[in-house]
Structure 1
């Protein structure tokens, strides 16, 4: 059985695809690389087919445009590997860290062990910045051994797992029935959040593996782009609210992490709406809080009464000034553009 499947959702990715795939093919026959061309109008399909012809562990898959979530869904459906990873087409991985991860997964496999989630660090490769920020978890996760939620420490507000951090056991994704919304940005939050609730065993290797390229003006995490697409951010935010049943989660460390994740997502939503600043944006913020209160009262009480929840809901012009200052701090902590 193939050890690892890597899905590369690709939309008009001709400028990046060679570099991304080039960083992955060194995994050899332990890895299958699925280039999922999501209805591109440029040379993405041609390049994908060239790469598939050149490398035995690369497959080119074409689909009509379904968005990032739809491409990830295809990757999960097509994957033949024991584990599953998503690498966006404009990102890449560090070779030494990659080979160390494959060695560790192979060792676990040879010992008859599997884990539900394999975690590593990711690095913000922010354009124009020479100093790169690494998101690591050494203060909260045990290293170099299999562990459970009982062994996990407390995550700080600026410390969270993203799609870039995680490799999931493929069958776990299928068991939980993970299907991401199509034609929707920011679904990586769901990819992290939903399967994590079923994760029991984990392994953390503290290497800077994933290189997350950030800084393009047209990127989905660019502030102005996020404000234009705020309805998609709010859609994802509501899905997280709906999927969190606090009463059903008995493991306190898992409960704490999931609460932290929803809080971060909600605060970003509110901060972006404040940055938008129009009456329509303010109404949408009010509707978001009302939705959380109605659908998940326990969650509402926790998030709304927190410091960040209060600061992003101050009224009037002075309140928005303070909220925007909080947003700038959040940007520097959370790393989005």
Structure 2
């Protein structure tokens, strides 16, 4: 049995896919299979995948019509034959030690999930920024510690929101109740991770930046339009777990943040005021404003300008409602 499956999903990343696959091919840990799921690319991504696959028999290719990242990950997981799995987006790359380090830990401590850090690389400037987690490193982390740190963070789009910064035991993932499909094009990892975290009893955090995430413009996996309907869908998904985990106030605060950002975006685009007022009158937004904890909301908003705008909207909603 192959030890580790690497599921790579790609969509219009022909400028990056060579670097991505080379970083996987050249891992210090060799007992791997590389499952490349092309999500209906319109450029030369699929052609490049086929060329690279001719040079390495560990590479398998799945070509599908455009269904989004969620379906691509699930289709890759469905055919994976390894004991463990990692996920990589086709416009990113991984450190040559990632698989060996994570596999050593997950086997040594008989874990279902292992965490590590990611590094953002800004293509235009060449700047790099590491995003360490707020988890204790180098030891087993129990469920109570996970609950205190991760559950609140999951109510927003945070460092804990990516499938790509972890190694998973495949039998564990397959035992969970994931939705069969999703049309989300942003935040789709959340559908998987909320269920992962809800069932996780213990884990381990490797305090190293193994995953390299490119920040660039263009039609890549990470460049999806995040309209208000998507934020509403994510809010509804989060609320199911927020109630169970007793972190509803963090879900409300993050939805308020998303709504305010959408309103500001619409104002900058000079949208009609009647359209903008639709967001303020939204039923979910009304519930969030009424049930929020203002201190938590202000902490999530962070900037003074956004806090002032939030307070102005609260005054306006008090008049309108």
TM-score, normalization: structure 2?
A: 0.78
- Structure 1 residue 276 corresponds to structure 2 residue 266: yes
> What pairs up with 1:20-39 in 2 under 5 angstroms?
20-27=20-27, 29-39=30-40
**CA separation of 1:46 and 1:231: change in aligned 2, threshold 3 A:** same
* Residues 101 and 42 of structure 1, relative CA distance in 2, 3 Å threshold: same
- What are the Cα deviations for residues 26-80 of structure 1, in whole angstroms up to 9, with x where unaligned? 2354222111011223322222222222112211111122111111111221222
Residue matched to 2:292: 301
Change in Cα spacing, 1:81 to 1:273, as seen in structure 2 (3 Å) is: farther
Q: TM-score, normalised by structure 1?
A: 0.74
Contact kept? 1:230, 1:273, Cα under 8 Å = no
| 2:229 paired residue among 228, 231, 236 | 231
Compared with structure 1, are the counterparts of its residues 197 and 211 closer, same or farther at alpha carbon in structure 2 (3 Å cutoff)? same
**Matched-pair contact (CA < 8 Å) for 1:230–1:272:** yes
Name the CA shift for 1:8/1:49 in 2 (closer, same or farther; >3 Å): same
RMSD: 3.4
Residue 234 of structure 1 and its aligned partner are, at CA, apart by 3.0
Q: Partners of 1:182 and 1:159 in 2: how far apart? A: 21
Counterpart of 1:329?
A: none
Aligned partner of 2:118 in structure 1 is: 122
Distance 1:286 1:2, change over 3 A: farther
Q: Cα gap change, 1:159/1:270 in structure 2, threshold over 3 Å: closer, same or farther?
A: same
Q: Distance in 2 between matches of 1:96 and 1:79?
A: 21
Per-residue deviation, 1:290: 4.2
Structure 2 stretches lacking a partner, 5+ long: 317-321
Larger deviation: 47-56 or 72-81?
47-56
In the alignment, is residue 267 of structure 1 matched against residue 257 of structure 2? yes
| Secondary structure in 2 matching 1:121 | strand
Question: Is the contact between residue 105 and residue 114 of structure 2 (CA under 8 Å) also seen in structure 1?
Answer: no
- Determine the C-alpha separation between the residues in 2 that align with 1:305 and 1:288: 21
How far has the Cα of 1:117 moved from its partner?
1.7
Moved more, 168-177 or 70-79: 168-177
Q: Superposition pairs for residues 181-330 of structure 1, below 5 Å?
A: 181-182=182-183, 184-218=185-219, 226=225, 229-241=227-239, 243-246=240-243, 248-249=244-245, 260=250, 263-264=253-254, 267-277=257-267, 278=271, 279-287=274-282, 289-290=284-285, 300-302=291-293, 306-307=297-298, 308=300, 311=307, 313-315=310-312
- Inter-CA distance 9–25: structure 2 relative to 1 (3 Å threshold): same
User: Which residue of structure 2 lines up, in the alignment, with residue 71 of structure 1?
Assistant: 72
Between the two proteins, the alignment pairs up a number of residues equal to 297
Residue 334 of structure 1 corresponds to none
User: SS of the residue aligned with 1:24?
Assistant: helix
